Amino acid sequence: MITFTPLSGGAASPRTTPLAYLLQVDDVRILLDCGSPDWCPEVSPDFPSHGATWEPYCTSLKSIAPTIDLVLFTHGDLSHTGLYAYAFSRWGLRCPAYATLPVQAMARIASLEEVVGIRAQEEVEDKTEDSDATGQPDSLTVHGRCIATAKEVHGAFDTVNTLRYSQPTHLQGKCQGLTITAFNAGHTLGGSMWKIRSPSAGTILYAVDINHTRERHLDGTVLVRGSSGVFEPLARPDLFITDAERVMNVSCRRKDRDAQLIDTVTSTLSSRHSVLMPCDSSTRLLELLVLLDQHWNYSRLKYPICLISRTGKELLATVRSMMEWLGGTISKEDLGDEGGGSRNGHKRKRDDDNDEDALGALSLRFRHLEFFSSPQALLHTYSSKDPKLILAVPNSLSHGPSRILFSEFASVPDNAIILTSRSEDGTLGRALFDMWNNQQREDDKWDKGKLGRNVMMDRVVTLKMHSKIPLQGVELDAYLEKERIAQAKEVAQQAALARTQRMLEADEDVSDSDSDNSDDEDAVESALAMGNADTHASAFSEPGVGQGRRRAREIGDVMDWNLETDDGGIRQLVSFDIYLKGNVSKPTSFFKTTGPQIQRFRTFPYVERRRRVDAYGEILDVGMWLRKGKAFEEEAESDETREARRRKAAEEEAKKAPLEPPSKFIELDIEVQLACRLLFVDLEGLNDGRAVKSIVPQVNPRKMIIVHASSEAARVVTDACNTIRAMTKDIYSPSVGDATQIGQHTNSFSISLGDALLSSTKMSRFEDNEVGYVVGCVTSHESSTIPVLEPISASSPAAETSISEYVTPPTLGSRIASKLPQSTLIGELKLTALKSRLATVGIQAEFAGEGVLVCGGRPNSDTPLVAVKKTGKGRVDIEGPVSDLYYTVRKEVYDLHALVAA
């Protein structure tokens, strides 16, 4: 039994992103992707939002998170993995998660860029879960934004299990019996399709956001291999889950698209103006960087390429360590094979050898790329009037550097803004795309397969800008005063706690009152060597007495006494009570009297200081032995303990870093006069409608579910599949929250086969299994709770019933009717496999039509022919004259099946 429920990104929903689906296979609940929406939608009246709320999605995910048994990630962008860190840390999504190594790394980088960027500009309220008396969450309803912290992002993605392509993984625990395998999906580095194999539900293929075309840094998906058709392990799944978001679109040629992008960038920079390209922080950024770097190297341009991202350097360092995951033509081009042996190639190799950041890889050396953490850092290096190409995150322009630069960039005439993706609905990036698309001619729109033209923007828009600024003036003074009061209160509390602790230690009983003085001296010397000796003194002094007052303040017990002087003034004395460790309130004497206690007062203790020497007169250095013991302990530590200690030291060092000045978050409404040029170039790297309609029939699934698509797109795919006779008609397109059930409920029982039944059963080999046909009756034994299947004896009621079904009362002059033996063929005949098998025995076979294999010669010759037809599910017809050829073909057909005789 399979139940599929879209949590977000359904087929008949107004919003197709983010992606999150609940797949239940029998009792196992699998979460397919866990994407996050854009948490900073556009609310300006000039760019009206679609009014989408994400509370239902977050509430449904929060309610099912503790019950999830498995999480699978397909791509490393925010629409597939953005909400996982929050759900893992705060909603109890602690089940095993699987992804390829690049998807794990790209998802971590994209999530870090998102949460750090938002928290740097807006105040994020870290909500805590309210619990009732039983410890369970009081309410499952989620309000507001769900933005994790950087620490939560690292902790969540550290637990993700990484796999390689085509690596079958047999799950354990509650998921025992399931086998998952990741295959290359294209579109992003490490992007995956998941094949889930269940012993009861069959094979499930989950493939969303795939790309069959080869790109500069990636190979196309393995689902389709050119003229050879569908990859054999992925063909004919029992359930195929795919998307149809771009089925209404026709993509233009990549050569023309790249030429338009390069021409626009080059002409703008040559006219002494700048170009702004909003981009994502991880996945599709690589294709854009490779394209620009190749053009810069070919044209020998000197303009800087500026990437504004907090995780840009980390991204490239991570990708360079995963060169085996890259494809396309990047390795050949970056290694300089096209100009092999040239002087420039040797110079480039020497430069790579001297590069400290080489990390053992020669590819992805973007010589013209410069990294900046913020727009302010960019202005410190380059003037706003210098021509430059700026890549800023995020691509939606909803927050971060791209939004800040847009507010300053768009008002400069002849500057160019190039969009590389449509972004999510309700964001500034989607609003700009709609503005560009609406100004195109009807035949040049984005989904018509034509290149659009850049448009001049001429309007005034209002944008909400969030920022964080340092406190100044009265606000800063009030903040510092508040901090001072809080710090003084904390110091007073600590001093009170310390005083109480010392008083308790002074009044506690001493277990051994006859301790030797030498032991006390050893304890004092050891404490002095470690720097933790107790102070034993008591004194009265006046304010201003330097050493005594400083010593008293170090100890922390300060009490003020006001005395009236002879001249009528007030003199302040300060008393310092320094405790004497041990039992000082009870009397001790040689006779150990048990009468009423005599009150004792604290006095100055005296410890005789003697030089400790050994038998040979050498001075004992207790501190040296303590240091040596500590060194021996460090050498005996394990790697895990040493790593934990190193991490703790790093955290303490980070705490010593200069603190951020007091700041506050502000929100401003600014008016921007749009005067620049706007162009959209599709660099999303996804299949268009022609590819989807071609790939799905080749996969030929038994059942199919369409997700991540509009209602019209889902209908188009369904109609296209219905026109193909061999395609399945079980096609579902559920909307968000609608549960789709596939298959029927089955009941499984445990039964044991008796020894007598096993010894009499004839087994046949089929693939990796042995099958047999048995007839018996179920019996129960007192020694076992599992019923046993035993052969039917002649005297049993079951035997009489089975015999009466086949034996009819005899008539006069007739023989007694007997039951004929039965046989069953197990397996599915593949005509291609039969053709190969006949070729090995010297029989020629050719396909004469759909589902018909003609064996024995050419159709127009006089040679007898035998035709093998598949007329239905589990039905094979063999037609031909009685001959040796007929029996040979029938024998080969039987050999491709397992014959089970009753």
Q: What is the CA radius of gyration of the chain?
A: 40
List pLDDT tens digits, range 273-332. 999 999 999 899 999 999 999 999 999 999 999 999 999 999 999 998 898 999 887 755
Reported as a pLDDT band with limits 50, 70 and 90, residue 898 is confident
Q: Please indicate whether residue 796 or residue 472 has the higher confidence score (pLDDT).
A: 472
Q: What percent of the chain has pLDDT over 90?
A: 45
List pLDDT tens digits, range 814-851. 566 666 566 777 777 888 888 888 888 888 888 887 77
d(C-alpha 681, C-alpha 279), whole Å: 12
Is the distance from CB of 423 to CB of 290 less than 8 angstroms?
no
Q: CATH number of 2-38+52-130+137-250+682-739: 3.30.420.40, 3.40.50.11810, 3.60.15.10, 3.20.20.30?
A: 3.60.15.10
Of 119, 39, 38, 34, give the one whose Cα is nearest residue 76: 34
Q: What percent of the chain has pLDDT over 70?
A: 76
> Where do the structural domains in the chain lie, given as residue ranges?
2-38+52-130+137-250+682-739, 254-339+354-460+675-680, 491-502+537-603, 752-805, 824-901
Token readout for 846 is 């050719």
Reported as a pLDDT band with limits 50, 70 and 90, residue 679 is very high
pLDDT at 423 over 50: yes
pLDDT at 547 over 70: no
Task: Tell me what pLDDT residue 356 has.
Answer: 37
pLDDT at 364 over 90: no
List pLDDT tens digits, range 72-109. 999 999 999 999 999 999 999 999 999 999 999 999 99
Task: Tell me what pLDDT residue 549 has.
Answer: 42
Provide the pairing of β-strand 275-278 with 416-419.
parallel
Question: How confident is the prediction for the chain on average, in pLDDT?
Answer: 80
Note if the pTM is more than 0.75: no
Q: Span 254-339+354-460+675-680: which CATH code?
A: 3.40.50.10890
- Of 165-174, 400-409, 687-696, 837-846, the range with the lowest mean pLDDT is 837-846
d(C-alpha 476, C-alpha 483), whole Å: 11
d(C-alpha 91, C-alpha 65), whole Å: 6
Helical axes 831-840 vs 884-895, angle rounded to 10°? 120
* Domain 824-901, second-level architecture: 2-Layer Sandwich (3.30)
Name, of 152-156, 661-665, 791-795, 848-852, the range with top average pLDDT: 152-156
CA atoms within 13 A on the CB side of 845: 26
d(C-alpha 901, C-alpha 774), whole Å: 9
Q: Please indicate whether residue 269 or residue 137 has the higher confidence score (pLDDT).
A: 269
Reported as a pLDDT band with limits 50, 70 and 90, residue 71 is very high
Length of the chain as a residue count: 902
The mean per-residue pLDDT over the stretch 188-215 comes to 94
The mean per-residue pLDDT over the stretch 169-187 comes to 94
Is the distance from CB of 683 to CB of 391 less than 8 angstroms?
no
242-258: b (≥16 Cβ within 10 Å) or e: bbbbbbbbebbeeeeeb
Task: Tell me what pLDDT residue 276 has.
Answer: 96
List pLDDT tens digits, range 623-632. 788 888 888 8
d(C-alpha 686, C-alpha 81), whole Å: 18
The mean per-residue pLDDT over the stretch 510-519 comes to 43
Task: Tell me what pLDDT residue 524 has.
Answer: 44
Largest Cα separation within the chain, whole Å, is: 152
- Return the residue matching tokens 């030797």: 516
d(C-alpha 621, C-alpha 526), whole Å: 10
d(C-alpha 423, C-alpha 291), whole Å: 21
pLDDT at 570 over 50: yes
Of 82, 699, 615, 158, give the one whose Cα is nearest residue 396: 82
